[in-house]
Chains A and B, each alone.
Chain A
Amino acid sequence: MTTVNSSEVLIDCQSVWKVFGDNAPAAIKAISERGLTKKEVLQEYNCVVGVSDANLQVRRGEIFCIMGLSGSGKSTLIRLLNRLIMPSLGKVLVKGRDIGSLKAADLRQMRARHIGMVFQSVALLPHRTVLENAAFGLEVQGIPLAERNRTAEMALAKVGLSDWLKRYPGELSGGMQQRVGLARAIASDPEIILMDEPFSALDPLIRRQLQDEFRQLTKDLGKSAVFITHDLDEAIRIGDRIAIMKDGLIIQVGTAEEIILKPADPYVAQFVAGISRLHLVKAHSVMTSVAEFQQACPGVDIRALLRTNPEADIDELITLTMMSDRDAVAVVDDDTIVGIVTPRGLLRSVSDGHTAELAHA
């Protein structure tokens, strides 16, 4: 996986709450003063807590997935990021600016230039051609026709739709329509793209293809993205980091590996149970420390071992282990050996969850 190359935080959610209902202000007051739970808020104030106390940071160059089932608050959360929904409590900082306190004109600027959005329903204007739809964001910004068409054509080329410029959305398949949606978002060249379950309505093959293309494109263009999904597989495929939501709460944030190998609670564990761990096994997560290895096998010269990098996956590790006559592979980062992968460690990483399941059965 590509690593996130900067620690600059683009989106910073600080204890963000969203409460829906007529008594929302009173409910918010009670929450901040008395620390009510979601259930108590519903009982006492008849208000629904959409998002409760969400904290998250999206860094530059990162694809951040928010995964949760319907009603978990993920769609509300993503709308808080560009103020389609105003937070009831807490702050959302985008590029260091509190978007809750932006004036109308500044907010429009922020949305037009810095935050693109792609919708599950695609929301292509039916009476406009593919090109006009892709150029829509630029049109709103008042960019002259020739220039915005040129930019939109380039964006459509990036998603492989150069031959469809003059068609209408109704003539396109679902997958192609969503590509237009993506082209529309990237045509304005925003730093952040918000993806609200963009691929949920597509059939599995097309979905996988678009997931890979989206990830590649986002990385190539150096964009950051917040990606909402109800599908953990999708989150794992796309996300650099994943946040798991349930009932408005973010229960766990971490890389796919962290979430799968160390689920924070039984709910996450239940989700993760069905996921194959094999492609998550990375050299750095299965290696033993050098000291431990030397204790177990004192006679082995670790400098003579075959070498690999910390991100090497299971296929690579197996191949290297087979090639080696020493039953161990050195993991090297910045020219120093940071650990050793042994067949024993590999086997343990593969079996871990399964033995746990067998034990329960």
Chain B
Amino acid sequence: MEGLDFAGTFDDIVDSGLGWLGDNAGALFELVRTVLEGFYGAVLWTLSLPPFYVIAIAFALLGWRVVGLRFGALAGVALVVCAAMGLWPETMSTLALVISATILALIFAIPAGVLTGFAPKVDRSLEPVLDLVQTLPPYIYLLPGIALLGYGPATALAATFVVAVPPAFRLTSLGIRMTPNEFIELGQSTGMTNWQMFSKIRLPFAVPSIMAGINQSLMMAFGMVVIAGIVGSGGLGETIYKAVRTLDIAKSIDGAIAIVILTIVLDRLTQGAARIGYGGGK
């Protein structure tokens, strides 16, 4: 019984805490909301500007350069399929959501990862927090978002941001810490300053790990963006959510196909970019 009471008290605290934040920091969250939606809007506007075939061709060319001819052609065709299913605006809106959330996450995660890479103690104390973020069911992040930022893309963005941060954070920190010892010695024995050691040795060797982190963050973002359909994120997530509620199985499958296409294209593109980043000219 006591445990139950405690849980009840805890819930009350959380509720009143959220309420207090909503009442007293309303202006702040209004600002956050404006910034998030503004950023998302700008990315979406850019992606919606050209007709679908231009975007498809652009992805095909990028795929060709980064991965290979066959992948480029497939990526182009796959995007045309999205348009043929009548889901082009939703696809672009999902893409915009994923891209803007991932960019925001990386802006935070990479510098933070670099810093903790140099401070193993900080890294150890952040580890449980990251574990918590990664093990909680992703729905959880939507609720406080709705309370503070309201229904719409801002909440979707914020929740996606939260799940996209840990992989890039962790792998950046790991990459900075895992510089092979012989290269540290090389740097020291050539008389490097700390900044040179970072920019010429540690960072280049961390690039593969950072790229893997970016890739993982992107994948997490895709997962979250679909779930965020519940809170009115717009895009494919919402399409699927609505189709599920109306038991429109065909439509939900269309949406799922579009999501899969988008995910695979971006996954392969970032993996290809990671290889190029690592192999130098080769």
A-side residues, CB < 8 A to B, are: 79, 82, 84, 107-113, 115-117, 119, 121, 123, 125-129, 136-137, 139-141, 168, 170, 188, 194
Contact = CB atoms under 8 A, between A and B. Distances in A.
A112 B190 contact: yes
The listed residue with most A CB atoms (<10 A of its CB), out of B186, B187, B279, B281, is B186
Contacts of A123: 180, 182-183, 185-186
Contact of A119 (B186, B196, B200, B280): B186
Contacts of A107: 191
Contacts of B189: 82, 84, 111, 115-117, 194
Contacts, number: 61
B278 interface: yes
The listed residue with most B CB atoms (<10 A of its CB), out of A119, A123, A125, is A123
Instruction: For the complex of A and B, list the 5 residue pairs with the smallest distance between their C-beta atoms, beginning with the closest.
Output: A112-B191, A127-B280, A111-B191, A108-B191, A117-B189
B192 A108 contact: yes
A126 B280 contact: yes
A129 B281 CA distance: 9
Interface of B: 180, 182-183, 185-193, 196, 200, 204, 278-282
9 contacts: A110-B191, A112-B190, A112-B191, A121-B182, A123-B182, A137-B191, A140-B191, A140-B192, A140-B200
A361 B281 CA distance: 61
B183 to A, nearest CB: 6
A168 B278 CA distance: 13
A119 B187 CA distance: 12
B191 A109 contact: yes
B204 A127 contact: yes
Say what secondary structure dominates the interface of chain A: mixed
Say what secondary structure dominates the interface of chain B: helix
Given A111-B191, A136-B190, 8 more contacts: A111-B190, A112-B191, A119-B186, A121-B182, A127-B204, A140-B190, A140-B192, A194-B189
A326 B21 CA distance: 111
Contacts of B180: 123
Nearest to A127: B280
A137 B200 CA distance: 11
Contacts of B182: 119, 121, 123
A195 to B, nearest CB: 12
A297 to B, nearest CB: 58
Contacts of B204: 125, 127
B191 A168 contact: no
Contact of B188 (A111, A116, A137): A111
B276 to A, nearest CB: 10
A170 B189 CA distance: 23
A123 B181 CA distance: 9
Contacts of B191: 107-113, 137, 140-141
A188 B186 contact: no
A359 B190 CA distance: 53
The listed residue with most B CB atoms (<10 A of its CB), out of A115, A116, A140, A141, is A140
A170 B282 CA distance: 9
B190 to A, nearest CB: 5
B277 to A, nearest CB: 8
Given A125-B204, A126-B280, A170-B282, A84 B185 contact: yes
A126 B180 CA distance: 12
Contact of A140 (B196, B278, B279): B196
Contacts of A112: 190-191
A125 B190 contact: no
A137 B190 contact: yes
A111 B182 CA distance: 16
A50 to B, nearest CB: 16
A72 B81 CA distance: 67
A108 B204 CA distance: 21
